Chains A and B, each alone.
Chain A
Amino acid sequence: MSIHDEGLAPAETPEGIEVRGLVKSFGSTPVLTGVDLDVAPGTVSVMIGPSGSGKSTLLRCLNLLETPQAGRVRIGDDEIDFAVGVRRGQAAALRRHSAMVFQSHNLFPHRTALENLLEGPVFAQRRPRHEVEEEARGLLARVGLAEKADAYPDQLSGGQQQRVGIARALALRPRVLLFDEPTSALDPETVGEVLAVMRDLAAEGRTMIVVTHEVRFAREVADHVVFLDGGVIAEQGPPSQVLVDPQQERTRAFLGRILHH
């Protein structure tokens, strides 16, 4: 797992995100009740908060796995105002900017590691296969799994699966990387290898939004920490403030709970 020195391809120029007044409820249960968020290009934002606080939902709204009822999301030049409604092409356009790494990796079990990386670029983005394949092998090497290209997900350990998941996201050449609790489902001894890959990506200057419970990772890697509670952002700022010297009582209470476990 070495850091590439070549930097990011022009196609992957990091973008910023702007969220305004985002509202999402499931049935009559409100989950997000008016969220404003700004993410600067090339920065790492970590979202923390108790379960049910809406942090995963917020992340999933950014690539429209959930459709908010109101509010706006802008990534790069594409913007959707959800109060107006989402047109078909709009959703695809917004989604193209980002790639998602899931908690349970959601690799395609019937395809090899390499094939998992090819799916999106070859069949959705219609890029030439030979070009994508070369790039994909490079990405697998980058996450330390060059020799596992032909392995099926079921033949890999949890940490390896998640690293393939990250490589699959990178293969889409995203301008924003979204991580939804990428280490929560892993055995403790494999968490480190996944976090190492994520550190590597952060060092490259990518825009990353990470939902996680790994406070140490947040302290070391994040530029910006967002604490969600009860469907709103209760506190946000640099890690030195939010994680070390939180201003809000509920942030303190939450950190106290997760740090003493």
Chain B
Amino acid sequence: MDLDLVRESIGPLLSGTIRGTIPLTAASFVGGMVLAVLVALARLSRFGVLRGIAQGYVSIIRGTPLLVQLFIIFYALPSLGLTIDPFPSAIIAFSLNVGGYASEIVRAAILSIPRGQWEAAETIGYSRAMALRRVILPQAARVAVPPLSNTFISLVKDTSLASTILVTELLRKAQEIAAPTFEFLTLYSLAAVIYWVLCLVLSIGQGFLERRLGRHLQPQIAKVEKVRQATA
């Protein structure tokens, strides 16, 4: 491995990460989550038409490769007269993709909250929307964090596909340096390490979020002690 090359490439690679990979991931995840909640609610709605549309969307997203979704938006839409720049194309494709997968997670998390919580919310005078916002979603969030973290971490790596539509993100930077120098091993290894570090940081964030959202729950050990104290 050529250490000088490592030193020279690290700057451009980090720039690709900070200007490409990270904003692409962040924007797509936010967009995807907004979609996911809307689609999950549509799937749980009383209206058959909404349920049908949402189900169709999820089926298409899950049934087709992400790369194909990306190509349709970037390469195929122009022939319908709709040309979108690479970066926004990527955000749209990844948001749509995350929205499809995450909507199932959100739906399952909402369904995991006991019916009694809806009823209690109703009896204290909440509308369905308020019950959802103040009672159901905060509890569903805790349930959804581990699977959504999976989605998020996958997304970080999936953004590398954007290199195929000329978005300057981490992998494309690596390719650009590697191509003329033929230092594929060095450059792709460096790229791999950076992806891994990003995912590591996200895993730590996940642990933090899980503890915060679960702070109202007693660890089992404390429960046992409480019972012992009460009976002692």
Binding site for B on A (CB under 8 A): 63, 65, 92, 95-96, 98-100, 102, 104, 106-112, 119-120, 123-125, 152-155, 157, 168, 172
Contact = CB atoms under 8 A, between A and B. Distances in A.
Given A65-B123, A123-B126, A102 B116 contact: yes
A155 B222 CA distance: 9
A154 B230 CA distance: 15
A197 to B, nearest CB: 18
Interface residues of B, number: 23
A109 B217 contact: yes
24 contacts: A65-B119, A65-B122, A92-B125, A98-B123, A99-B124, A106-B116, A108-B120, A109-B216, A112-B216, A119-B124, A119-B126, A120-B124, A123-B126, A123-B130, A124-B126, A124-B130, A152-B215, A152-B218, A153-B216, A154-B216, A154-B217, A155-B218, A157-B230, A172-B125
Contact of B139 (A100, A109, A152): A109
Interface in B83-138: 114, 116-117, 119-120, 122-126, 130, 134-135, 138
Nearest to A190: B230
Most buried by A among B124, B125, B134, B138: B124
Most buried by B among A99, A108, A123, A153: A108
Contacts of B123: 63, 65, 95, 98-100
Contacts of A172: 124-125
Interface in B139-175: 139, 142
B72 to A, nearest CB: 41
A129 to B, nearest CB: 14
A100 B124 CA distance: 8
Contact of A168 (B124, B215, B222): B124
B119 A124 contact: no
Nearest to A117: B124
A91 to B, nearest CB: 10
Contact of B134 (A65, A98, A109, A119): A119
A92 B122 CA distance: 9
B138 A110 contact: yes
A104 B116 contact: yes
Contacts of A124: 124-126, 130
A108 B117 contact: yes
A157 B226 CA distance: 9
Contact of B119 (A92, A106, A154): A106
A228 B93 CA distance: 60
B216 A152 contact: yes
**Nearest 7 Cβ contacts at the A-B interface:** A120-B124, A124-B125, A106-B120, A106-B116, A152-B216, A100-B123, A154-B218
